[in-house]
Amino acid sequence: MFTSAEPLQPEALSDADRALAEKVEVLNTRYRHHSATSVMQGALREAGNIALVSSFGAESVVLLHMAAVIDPETPVVFVDTELLFTETLLYQQEVSERLGLRNVKIIKADDIAEKDPYGALRFSDKDACCTLRKTVPLAKALDGYDGWITGRKRFQAGTRAALEFFEIEQGTGRMKINPLAHWAPEDVRVYMDENRLPRHPLVSKGYPSIGCAPCTTPVKDGEDPRAGRWRGENKEECGIHMVDGKLVRTGA
């Protein structure tokens, strides 16, 4: 049931991870054949103090809508890397207001001016750029939460093929919850259509997966939906996750 950068062995688990192990296994067993909405409800009601981390990207509105229906006070963490598309920033405001989300936390790194004053880090070290602008501020924002909800899905990348609903974020004492793990692209489209949810404006321009503007390009017909993320790079994820209490690269 455990997923992380590498398969976890019992002896590799920290004390915090061990405390979560039984809970994660029970939740995965309980919700194995349940809907995404049920997984969201279970996470918010049974998993402790939980936040929804959202990029307000191409498919983010699905989980945001579910959270708004279940509890509009659900903490929503949005990381502004200061390299996002203007369309994403406007979409974040529109969706938050339209859905009535009352607890959106917009966070930014506090040391960009010191460590990347000219915005050139992305040219020399994309992983370091992701760490500075996204991963570190997100880790700080999640401090004190028992877990966080993500929009990751199995179909999005080979590194996500075995994704479970509930998993341990090794070394943090937190769990990660992936309600849409088993959804296909058609499930996302149907949900958005049935609930008349607003699309990210860049989707119609060929961006099925949207990250920072300098590292995201349009995708051609027949390409993988995430082909436009870090195009030409040996990189599939933002790249840095917590493992054994340390920031490490996972993904490609």
Residue 211 near residue 57 (C-beta atoms within 8 A) = yes
Q: Amino acid identity, residue 232?
A: G
Identity of the residue numbered 130: C
d(CA 59, CA 220): 18
Which backbone phi and psi does 167 adopt, to 5 degrees? -145, 160
> Which of 149, 151, 153 has the alpha carbon at shortest distance from 169?
149
**Residue 23 one-letter amino acid:** K
In the set 129, 212, 215, 238, the catalytic residue is: 238
Closest by alpha carbon to 244, among 192, 171, 157? 171
Give the phi and the psi of residue 177 in degrees, each rounded to 5. -120, 130
Which amino acid, one-letter code, is at 26? V
Quickly list H helices, 131-207.
136-142, 185-194
Whether residue 215 lies in the annotated active site: no
Q: Which 8-state DSSP code applies to residue 197? A: P
Going by C-beta distance under 8 Å and a sequence separation of 6 or more, which residues neighbour residue 13? 21, 168, 170
CA atoms within 13 A on the CB side of 41: 9
The backbone torsions φ and ψ at residue 107, rounded to the nearest 5 degrees and listed phi first, read -120, 155
Rounded CA-CA distance 248/63 in Å is 27
Task: Give catalytic residues, as residue numbers.
Answer: 238
